[in-house]
Structure 1
Amino acid sequence: MATVTNRHRIALIGLGGISQSVHLPLIARLHDRVQLAAVVDLSAQRTAEIADAHGRGIKQFLSVDQLLSSGEKIDGAVIASGGTHAVDAKKLLEAGVTVLAEKPLGYSLAEHKDLANAVDSSGLRVGYMKEYDPASREAKKLLENLHIRSVEVEVLHPADAAQLNFAHLRPAATDVDEAVLAAASKPTKTAIEAAIGGAPGKDIDRFYPNVVLGSVIHDIALLRYLMGGIGTVEEAHHYGDEFPGSLFMRGQLKKHPAPWTLNWHFIAKYPEYQETVTIHHDEGTVQLVFSVPYVLNGPTRLNVVRGLPALGVERTTQTWPQCEAFETEWKEFLDLIEGIPNEASSLDESAADIAVGQCMINALASSLGAPLGPNTEAVITAKGNDTL
């Protein structure tokens, strides 16, 4: 049997839903290029279970500090833990490790500035899988040099079980000491307070990390990737008696004199996650329809409407079932470890997305009658950016 060579030693940090449903299966799929060398999680029980289930010789650690102090050789690390990833990303980059961090990289612009001042971020990528989707990449090509008229985003978000039942996730960890959990959560709380202040009311402290930077940020990043992004946030409203309910937002695009609107709905019993991005332009329509993101090889539909000679109309639908967005993300991450650069989102793009998210939460807080404090990042960002 031939010996497998040129495999990169990877540490997987955070062993929750995204790691179990996406990253671990892809590590197995990319066995010719990846060796899972270490797993890191606050739960010793979970690290042991995952290590035992995914190969021999996988080292187990309870923190990135433990990993780095162990002397274990690591080429790259995927950060998929809860909360901010900026602290661990900084430590890993300082140690010369290439990093792929799940979104959001952080919750404050201060975190991004600290990273920019402290480390070379050329070895950092932020995991916005939609920019690796073949449908998104084709849509970006189609939209080049076109005059955009409007962008409409609709997200139908069911309860997590409707997206993750198939993955048979391991039960939640119960062996993490409360003091350890509190210490691990402190950087996230500090960053969120810097962004929106302490206890702003009206569930703003839940909307910001869980909805705006937990879900809507995918759309913020996608519009940036496709057409230069969001320029202004002019309106944001919440509907529904319970959190998170529904959000409506609107504003203008950054590089086009055209409006964007977003309708985001949490509907617990909706049968399946769906996200639709419809872009009308001077010559027709480009539409992306995304399905459950955690189901690998569930293809995005690219619907295109365009004119033909003699007043004809062509309507096409394309899918790429053999090309998985997360897998492409992994392959380009491995290329980056090998010194092959790419233009995927990194520190600057993440900071730009956080700034848009802060403008969104500032507008939402105002509409809910719970305006943020004048010294919060979100207010300062909103006042300082007529165009983001």
Structure 2
Amino acid sequence: MRIALVGCGAVTQAVYVPLLSRRRDLFEVAAVCDLSRTLADAVGDRLGAPGRYTDVAEMLSAGGFEAVLVLASGSHGETVGRALSAGYAVLCEKPLALTRAEVAALPEGPLMVGYMKQYDPAVRRAEELLAELGGPEVIRSVEVSVLHPSGESQLAFANLTQARDVDPGLIDSLRAAERDLVSKALGESAPESVRGLYGVTMGSICHDLSLLRRFTGSPTDISYVERWGAEPGSIEISGALPVRGRFAIRWHYLEDYPAYRETVTIHHDKGSLELVFPSPYLMNAPTVLTVVSGAESRTEHRDVTEAFEVQLSAFHAFVNDGKPPLTDANGGLEDIVTAQRIAARFAVQHDLPIGGEAA
């Protein structure tokens, strides 16, 4: 399948380039696009892509491919909409968008939202075991802990090409446009503390929201949200699950922590299922699933199959065989709604202004 990439930054260079290089049985990269010509050329050279662009509209018009991978940072609503309107299938990295309105405006078309943790073999095994136990009805609680070091420390090994050739005025205009989108989500008067919380939720905690969707369904109620420490600091979120039980997420930005660590534990009537995730940028590092059941018996499952690679294969099967993705536009929208509920709960607790869609 001939594909095009939009965005040639950190995730593309550290993850997608090596995976697409070794999965030439499934994909041929025909074009790449980035605001930085330096990055477009660097990624294009590594993947042997003949098309190099700095303008998405120009690339979509030129064509020569069947599908588009949207890997740039920020809101993806506009780019996804353009690609779908032009008749291309789309794999869009999370988040799909920053507002409900962007999702509502998307045209019909084949769209898959990329939450690679959903495709992790350990997660799929945990889903199977939970279903055997009785599904969401047996869950007492889901507890999440994320220890998040700086992005620079996580990517130090990757020797990334840096972009220094983008017009600062263009960058400023894009940041202003993104701020306007957040204002539509949270209201013009939303303070920086609420905007920052929304940014972390949409950029990082959304992975955990996507896992809750798979295990239990999206939360029906957000009852408590708190944050503390220097920006982005620490965040705590808790509430009710849709069928039974409660969830709690504790997210900590620890700049000097030695390695990213994320733990998701499902406590159920007969024991627990614990998932420990490594840094998402490390290829083929195993996620560990520990199963604890009666009489203190413990079983560990490890699989070095790369979740991002499984996700790419699933996209290929979606486009060519019609196999539905784990997250489509509706799933992406659910996570936006939950993130807005989180922001609204925090604002209400602290008597801060909240408006826009979150109101």
Residue 120 (structure 1) aligned with residue 108 (structure 2): yes
Normalization by structure 1: what TM-score? 0.88
Alignment match of 1:365 (pick from 331, 347, 352): 347
Q: C-alpha displacement at 1:29, in angstroms?
A: 1.0
Give the distance between the partners of 2:181 and 2:352, measured in 1 at CA. Answer: 20
Please say if 1:250 is aligned against 2:238. yes
Q: Which residue is 2:50 aligned to?
A: 58
**Residues 1:195 and 2:185 are matched in the alignment:** yes
Q: Which has the larger radius of gyration?
A: 1
Provide the C-alpha distance between the structure 2 equivalents of 1:306 and 1:32, rounded to a whole number of angstroms: 41
**Aligned partner letter, 1:215:** S
Instruction: Give the alignment of 1:224-373 within 5 angstroms.
Output: 224-240=213-229, 242-256=230-244, 258-307=245-294, 312-321=295-304, 323-373=305-355
CA distance in 2, matches of 1:141, 1:263: 26
One-letter code of the match for 2:358? A
RMSD over aligned Cα atoms: 1.5
Q: Does the CA contact (< 8 Å) of 1:143 and 1:227 recur in 2?
A: no
Residue number in structure 2 paired with 1:36: 29
Does the aligned pair in 2 maintain the 1:202–1:368 contact within 8 Å?
Answer: no
> Percent sequence identity over matched residues?
36
2:113 partner letter:
V
Match for residue 4 of structure 2? Answer: 11
Q: Corresponding residue for 1:163?
A: 154
Structure 1 gap ranges (5+): 1-7, 380-388
Q: Is the 8 A contact 1:83 1:185 kept in 2?
A: no
Please give the residue correspondences for 1:59-98 in structure 2 after superposition, counting only pairs within 5 Å.
59-70=51-62, 72-98=63-89
Match of 1:129 among 95, 116, 128: 116
Q: 2:205 aligns with which of 199, 202, 216?
A: 216
Tell me the amino acid that sits aligned with residue 239 of structure 1. Answer: W
Please, which of 158, 164, 175 is the counterpart of residue 174 of structure 1?
Answer: 164
Residues 229 and 255, structure 1, Cα contact 8 Å, conserved in 2: no
**1:199 deviation in Å?**
5.1
Aligned to 1:4: none
Report if aligned partners of 1:75, 1:337 keep a CA contact under 8 Å in 2: no
Map residues 142-161 of structure 1 onto 2, 5 A cutoff: 142-144=129-131, 145-146=134-135, 147-161=138-152
1:236-289 deviations in Å (ceiling 9; x for gaps): 00121x101111111000122x11111111111111111111111111111111
Q: Distance in 2 between matches of 1:58 and 1:222?
A: 37
Counterparts of 1:136 and 1:332, CA distance in 2: 15
Task: Judge which range, 161-170 or 266-275, deviates more.
Answer: 161-170
Question: Partner amino acid for 2:36?
Answer: S
Contact 1:84 1:187 in 2 (8 A): no
Deviation by residue 1:162-186 (Cα, 9 ceiling, x = unmatched) = 2111111112x22212343344445
Question: Given the two structures, how large is their TM-score scaled by the length of structure 2?
Answer: 0.95
Equivalent in the alignment of 1:382? none
